[in-house]
Structure formats: C-alpha cells, structure tokens
Amino acid sequence: MLKDNVKAPSKQLEPISGKYGATILGPTNPSREAENPDVLVPPRTDSGTLPNLKWSFADSHMRLEEGGWARQTTVRELPSSPTLAGVNMRLNPGAIREMHWHKEAEWSFMLKGSARITIVDQEGRTFQDDIFEGDLWYFPAGIPHSIQALKDGCEFLLVFDDGNFSEDNTFLLTDWLAHTPREVIAKNFRQPESAFANIPKHELYIFPGHVPPPLAQDRVAGTGPAPLSYSYRLSAQKPLTMKGGTVKIIDSSLFPISTTIAAALVEIEPGAMRELHWHTNADEWQFYISGEARMTVFASEGKARTFNYQAGDVGSVPFPMSHYIENIGNTTLRFLEIFRSSYFADISLATWLKYTPHELVKAHLNIDESVLDAIPKQKTPIVAP
Ligand code: MN
Ligand code: MN
C-alpha cells in the first residue's frame, strides 16, 4: 500500500527508444526512473558528456532542530553550480532562526506562511518587516539579521551568492558568546559577570520562541531607518502575461539592495515551454516549486543533455549554455530562475534570428521566410503549443 504522497509508477519504464536500448535485467529503482523519463530514455539529440545539472532537496541532509529544520544544496551537492547555493528552511510558529551574519549575501523567497525579519546595519540603522508568501528579502554580506516565524509558521528558500556557502558555518550570536571569556563579555557591557550566567553554552541556530507581537509594537528605531528596503513584495508585482504562462522578473532595477542576485519567477501552463535561450551574464540556478519539467542544455562541441525536474528539485545551467524548459505535466509548472548578477538578461533564439538579416539566417538553416515572419517583434519568453 503506497502512501498518498508517493506516486505509483503506472508501468515499468524501460530504456528503449525504437531500435535502440534493451530492458533492464539487473537492479532497478522504478520510482526514481519514473521521475526521470528523459534521463532513462534520452532524446536522440542528447550527446557527449556534461556535468550533472540536477539535485533534489529530497537527497539533501536534513538538519532537525527543536522548532524547525534546514537542508541545503551547495557546490558539495551540485558541483556544476559554483556561484550559487540554496537552503530550504522550515520554522514552526514563533520559532527563531537565530541572530547571525555570514560572508555571503542572502536572497529569499517565502514559499508558505510568514516571518518577521530584523536587520541592523553598520550605521546602527534598523529594518524590521513581516514577509508573506511569494515575497522576498535580501541581506547583504556581513549584515546581521534574524528570521522568526509568525503565527502560522513558515517555509522559505534561501539563495546565497557563493556555491561554497554552508548553512552550518554562519556566525551565530550564541556560538560567538559561548566562545568568548565570560569576564570579557562582562567588561564589554560594563556589567558584573553574573549578568551573563545564563548565556547558552552552545549555539541555538533554530529554536522555539513565542509568536512576536504586531510589527508596530515590536519595532526598534535604532539610529534611523535603513536607506533601502531589505524586503520586496514580489506577490504584488504584476507579471508579464502571455499565452502559455507568466513571468515576473526581479533584479536591482526594482529591488535596489539586491545587487548580487537577479531572478525570474516563471509559470508555464501544460504543454507550453520557456523558449530556447541563454543568459549573457551568469550561471542559472533553478528551484522548482510545482509541476513537472524537462530541460535540455546545449554545451557546444556537439554536447547536449536532458534532465527532468519536479517540485523541490534544483536545476543548474552553467554560463552561457543554451536551454529550454518544457512543462511535461498536466498542472502549472512554477519555478525560479536565479542568477548571481545585479540584472536579469537573456537572449532568445527567436529574437536573435528575427533581427539578423533573413537571407543570412536562411543560408544557415534552410528555413522559409514565413518562419522568421511569424516570430513576434515583442519578446515572449514563454511559447504556447
Ligand atoms: Mn542568514
Ligand atoms: Mn534560462
């Protein structure tokens, strides 16, 4: 008897494509193979050796703490992504991801629920805000911050602008003070040592807490307000809407503090696809929120490989390899494209061909003028069937 959330493979997939391939006689993992139909039976256009471009958070170590959990996909899990790392974190109502800082910048997307963030900058200026589903925050490198779940708890994705990041080596308030002589702490605050007798002896990292009061009551002014917002209401941004899906692009042009992370939130309807394109500025790191996808990445020298993705998976596209992402399921495909850059930039195959002298294009591809004429003048990053 399968649990509700485990998909029963409808039938055993075999690595057979026409006259190529043969059945599997040895050990097999049917549910895993069913998740990766285009890996088991690749398109005939796939060729050559590429690095692995897929990792599932389901394969990441889960760090369980009282009050929540965290798991990460870094360059250790996905070596093809040296520029970005991701953390998936869950906090129960009131639970706290403790006050800390780190050498990487942190970008976040709230997947479910809500949380309160707090920041103090190098001038003593403060920022506190409540973040809801579909909204973002960005903490620059070195800036101390905290995250506390509000009454319904929360789960979010964090993206760091270095693939070497580890959630286990951030600079924690409690870890620091546990490793500072008690008399030094006392001298620092001009207080007796007894005032610090109950400081934890080990880091807290994630720990239970009480749901904080409304933001207006919780605010601390500091030396003044932060000059830039550390949060962004992506849920309120109007998407670019086209036949087949929607796109929300968010970079430093709309969210100025986010100078090292640019992103697109993409929704693709069944059968439609994110068109053939590449990016001019950075590696792409993807997080799949819902649906089922297929992506082929072209790596030059005749090399191409196809991968499948579903909710909770991470995809990677090394700079400047070209690719498409197709919705192969029967529900909306929703995912994030993330780049270590201040801006979002892509070049589509269709636009490139449309604006190159057509005789030149036809000399390469032996296509009719009508194909080029049919390409819309406006960019349409999603193509409907
Ligand atoms: Mn952090
Ligand atoms: Mn892309």
Question: Tens of pLDDT along 106-155?
Answer: 999 999 999 999 999 999 999 999 999 999 999 999 999 999 999 999 99
Instruction: Confirm whether 337 is a catalytic residue.
Output: yes
Q: Is 33 inside any structural domain?
A: no
Looking at the fold, whether 180 and 269 belong to one and the same domain comes out as: no
Looking at the fold, whether 359 and 216 belong to one and the same domain comes out as: no
Nearest to 276 by CA among 256, 295, 289: 295
**Which residues make beta-bridge pairs with 108?**
137, 158
Token readout for 80 is 């093809």
CATH of the domain at 94: 2.60.120.10
Q: Which domain holds residue 304?
A: 238-383
**Least distant ligand from the CA of 316:** 2
**Least distant ligand from the CA of 283:** 2
**Which residues make beta-bridge pairs with 305?**
297
Looking at the fold, whether 91 and 227 belong to one and the same domain comes out as: yes
Choosing from 77, 167, 326, 337, which is the catalytic residue? Answer: 337
Taking the centre of ligand 2 as the mean of its atom positions, its distance from the CA of residue 284, in whole angstroms, is: 6
Nearest to 135 by CA among 97, 108, 159: 108
Domain count, the chain: 2
Looking at the fold, whether 222 and 251 belong to one and the same domain comes out as: no
Taking the centre of ligand 1 as the mean of its atom positions, its distance from the CA of residue 199, in whole angstroms, is: 21
Last residue of a domain, one of 232, 252, 287: 232
Looking at the fold, whether 89 and 192 belong to one and the same domain comes out as: yes
For the chain, which residues score pLDDT lower than 70? Answer: 1-11
Looking at the fold, whether 226 and 83 belong to one and the same domain comes out as: yes
Residues 327/268, Cβ–Cβ less than 8 Å: yes
Last residue of a domain, one of 206, 232, 258: 232
Taking the centre of ligand 2 as the mean of its atom positions, its distance from the CA of residue 337, in whole angstroms, is: 7
What residues flank ion ligand 1 with Cβ within 5 A?
106
Token readout for 178 is 């546990």
Q: Is 28 inside any structural domain?
A: no
**Least distant ligand from the CA of 205:** 1
Taking the centre of ligand 1 as the mean of its atom positions, its distance from the CA of residue 359, in whole angstroms, is: 53
What is the rounded end-to-end Cα distance, in angstroms, of the chain?
38
CA triplet 137, 87, 215: central angle to 5 degrees? 35
Taking the centre of ligand 2 as the mean of its atom positions, its distance from the CA of residue 278, in whole angstroms, is: 6
Looking at the fold, whether 74 and 197 belong to one and the same domain comes out as: yes
Backbone angles phi, psi at 170, to 5 degrees: -80, 165
Looking at the fold, whether 243 and 363 belong to one and the same domain comes out as: yes
Q: Is 152 inside any structural domain?
A: yes
Q: What span, in angstroms and rounded, lies between the C-alpha atoms of 243 and 275?
A: 13
Q: Is 35 inside any structural domain?
A: no
Q: Is 15 inside any structural domain?
A: no
Residues 382/247, Cβ–Cβ less than 8 Å: yes
Last residue of a domain, one of 172, 206, 232: 232
pLDDT confidence of residue 379: 87
CA-based max dimension of the chain: 85
Looking at the fold, whether 171 and 200 belong to one and the same domain comes out as: yes
Looking at the fold, whether 218 and 275 belong to one and the same domain comes out as: no
Nearest to 136 by CA among 279, 251, 282, 226: 251
Q: What span, in angstroms and rounded, lies between the C-alpha atoms of 155 and 70?
A: 10
Neighbours of 6 (CB within 10 A): 8
pLDDT confidence of residue 254: 98
Looking at the fold, whether 256 and 352 belong to one and the same domain comes out as: yes
Looking at the fold, whether 202 and 225 belong to one and the same domain comes out as: yes
**Least distant ligand from the CA of 286:** 2
Residues 57/71, Cβ–Cβ less than 8 Å: yes
Taking the centre of ligand 1 as the mean of its atom positions, its distance from the CA of residue 184, in whole angstroms, is: 26
Judge if pTM exceeds 0.85.
yes
* CB half-sphere exposure, 303, CA atoms < 13 A: 8
